[in-house]
Amino acid sequence: MSDKTAYIGANIFNGQQMHTNCALLINGGRIGGIVSVEALHDDYARVELSGGLLTPGFIDLQVNGGGGVLLNQDPSIKGIQTICKAHLQFGTTSLLPTLITDAPDVTKQAIDAAIEAESTNVPGFLGLHLEGPHLSMQKKGAHSPDLIRQVTDQDIEILCEAKKYLSKLLITIAPESVNCDQISQLASCGIHLSLGHSAATSQQAKEAFTAGVSSVTHLYNAMSPLTHREPGIVGAALNADDIYCGLIADGFHVNADAINIALRMKTGRGKLMLVTDAMSTIGTDQDEFELNGRLVKREGGRLTLSDGTLAGADLDMISAVKFMTEQTNCDKFEALRMASSYPAQYLNISQEYGHLRNGAVANFIHITDHLEISSIWQDGEKKQ
């Protein structure tokens, strides 16, 4: 087939606007633009689609595992490849493999694997997310208390050195373990910083934002809540125009009414971003696995430790989009932005990702009117 292809027969959502009776142009691995079918040139090979919607591929900033692999258990390039491939079938064309709090040697292996994944252009790999170990013991969630610790000068040196070889490095931290001067040092290296697993006050959260934190990890979960006398991290994040918030939309982590409140609040530059917080179960029939030597069980759409603590999510991105459209006040197109455009904006990669405008990487999916995935393209190549 020609490297110049035009997809017709479906509506096109470019990440911001709808286009009807138009063709999506693909030139090799890039978007060539959107034109009316009548203006389509003969040098494009036409592919007729049967209705539905073409929309940007999903971008997931928190993916602990998939395809039977947990990054903590297999911090290797092979593990990263398996995770990326497992989520592709659910519309996620780009992601950040995420390491949950672990020992320093495992963290080093994950960083080395991520650097190798970047240097060899593993499909779907955008960078690395380190969720911990510099968190709060009080809000540890499923993170092992034996591995949570204060950041050190050596840690900062290692992380800033890693960022030199990684386009994107996101780290979830807590002010209890990382002070504002240290936050500024990490941010000055180009590292994206997110507050999470923290009991910080609203004032402490705002100070962290000023120092260089730009998001919060899985809003509402494992953080100080909004109350009428102490707004906590939740209140500080929702009240900040420029702070992005990850959101796990599975019906277990956050109540739909709480999501609706967040939707009303996040109207500035900082947006809500859908994340899956997915574990190794995605794309498998696996019913249990280990996390730092503790058993996690899968039952009824939930992943829990023996004491009932939620341990990540049994969630894929198209299911999160469906939940938003079916269970909250979010319309379909805003949900799609939350899964694509907004994560790209947060990572400062919106020149090439999260939309279907001219010059973008040709990552896009074809979905039905009922939000079922029909086909997936990554770097212009059809994968499903």
The Cα–Cα gap between 97 and 79 comes to 9
Percent of the chain with pLDDT over 90: 97
As to burial, measured by CB atoms within 10 angstroms (0-12 exposed, 13-18 middle, 19+ buried), residue 218 is buried
The Cα–Cα gap between 93 and 78 comes to 17
- pLDDT (tens digit per residue) in 270-290: 999 999 999 999 999 999 999
The Cα–Cα gap between 5 and 41 comes to 10
What domains are defined for the chain?
4-55+363-382 (2.30.40.10), 58-346 (3.20.20.140)
- pLDDT (tens digit per residue) in 139-163: 999 999 999 999 999 999 999 999 9
Average pLDDT of 21-29?
A: 95
Of the residues 74, 277, 314, 316, only one is catalytic, namely 277
- pLDDT (tens digit per residue) in 219-259: 999 999 999 999 999 999 999 999 999 999 999 999 999 99
Residues in the chain: 384
The Cα–Cα gap between 248 and 317 comes to 10
Locate 303 and state its tokens.
């992943």
Locate 113 and state its tokens.
């694997």
Helices 104-119 and 153-163 pack at an angle, to 10 degrees, of 10
Q: Tell me if residue 219 falls in helix, strand or coil.
A: coil
- Residue-level pLDDT at 1: 43
- Residue-level pLDDT at 28: 87
How many distinct helices (H) and strands (E) make up the chain? 10, 23
Q: Is 277 a catalytic site residue?
A: yes
Is pLDDT at 2 greater than 70 in this prediction?
Answer: no
- pLDDT (tens digit per residue) in 166-219: 999 999 999 999 999 999 999 999 999 999 999 999 999 999 999 999 999 999
Which residues are 377's β-sheet partners? 364, 382
